[in-house]
Amino acid sequence: MAAHWTKVIGRVSFVNCDPLYHALPDSWSVLPAPPAWLTGHLLRRDCLTAPIPTADYAAHHDELQLLKGLGILSDGPVGSVLLFSTRPLKRIRDVALPSDSSTSSRLLMHLLATRDIDPRVHQMGPDLDEMLSRCDAALLIGDRALDEAERNPELVAMDLGADWKAVTGSPMVFGVFAARKDSPAARLEEVAGVLREQLRGFTDDPDFRTAVLESTAERSGFSLERVSNYFDEVRFKVGEAEVEGLNKFLGEVCHMQDEIQWFG
């Protein structure tokens, strides 16, 4: 029997979520999906909360609230949101955008515009060889970006987390833990507490951190060193600086004028 939606936590089906989801209490079920799919799952009440693309929150903010203090972000290089290119940035004529995250696509076009670069856009599946066979540049996110960066480091033209930091001086919040506004408050308090405890364990408990790193390395095939470095790049705690960066993205890139509604 499927778990009731208020006992289900959505997660991105990339390794970036592992620190918050490793060895979750058995009372919670996990729904893994690509970032863009999680938004639909959340709106359909397939799960209580999920780390959805920040741009999707902007599009549906009238229906959603955000769990305070949690997100998927970087304060500089993120390592897994990368533009690959066969040409120098200024000479890019067209770019292939993947279908699996709205935030990264919107962020890339904004960052290119700050450099007066306006390439033609093609939506494609996230396959680097196919993308670069048709376009000068290609955006990849998540595990595919990590993998291709290891195999083709000479093709990495931009780390979007680093570029956003250089342009704005702020962290970049790629994903936000959202919930429907009509979600039961008691369950939201419970799930927020569980996720914050997972973050505390990963941050403060060396044994827990080691267990996460070893599990992620074994499951993903990435080296333990790369996983450890990656989890120094991708972060999960949203404080004042992160909220400032989030508001910049929502306002400047997504043109959201309303204030964020927080829970907790």
Q: Which amino acid is at 243?
A: V
% of the chain surpassing 90 pLDDT: 96
| SS3 (DSSP) at 260 | coil
Strand partners, 72: 175
Report the pLDDT averaged over residues 197-201: 97
Q: What CATH class is the domain 5-73+172-263?
A: alpha beta
Please tell me the distance from the alpha carbon of residue 224 to that of residue 212, in angstroms, as a whole number. 10
**The pLDDT value given to residue 99:** 83
Token pair 């390592």 in the structure block, residue: 79
Query: Residue 49: what are its φ and ψ, rounded to 5°?
Result: -150, 160
**Structural tokens at position 34:** 């690509």
**What average pLDDT does the structure give for the chain?**
96
Confidence of residue 2 (pLDDT cuts 50, 70, 90): low
Report the pLDDT averaged over residues 55-81: 98
Confidence of residue 1 (pLDDT cuts 50, 70, 90): very low
Q: Which CATH superfamily is domain 81-168 in?
A: Periplasmic binding protein-like II (3.40.190.10)
Burial class, 116, CB count within 10 angstroms (exposed 0-12 / middle 13-18 / buried 19+): exposed
**The pLDDT value given to residue 184:** 96
Q: Residues 71-122: pLDDT tens digits?
A: 999 999 999 999 999 999 999 999 999 987 789 999 999 999 999 999 999 9
The answer to whether domain 5-73+172-263 and domain 81-168 are alike in fold is yes
Token pair 């919107």 in the structure block, residue: 106
**The pLDDT value given to residue 175:** 97
User: Among candidates 247, 244, 81, which has minimal Cα distance to 157?
Assistant: 81
Check residue 135 and report its DSSP letter.
Answer: -
The ranges assigned to domains in the chain are 5-73+172-263, 81-168
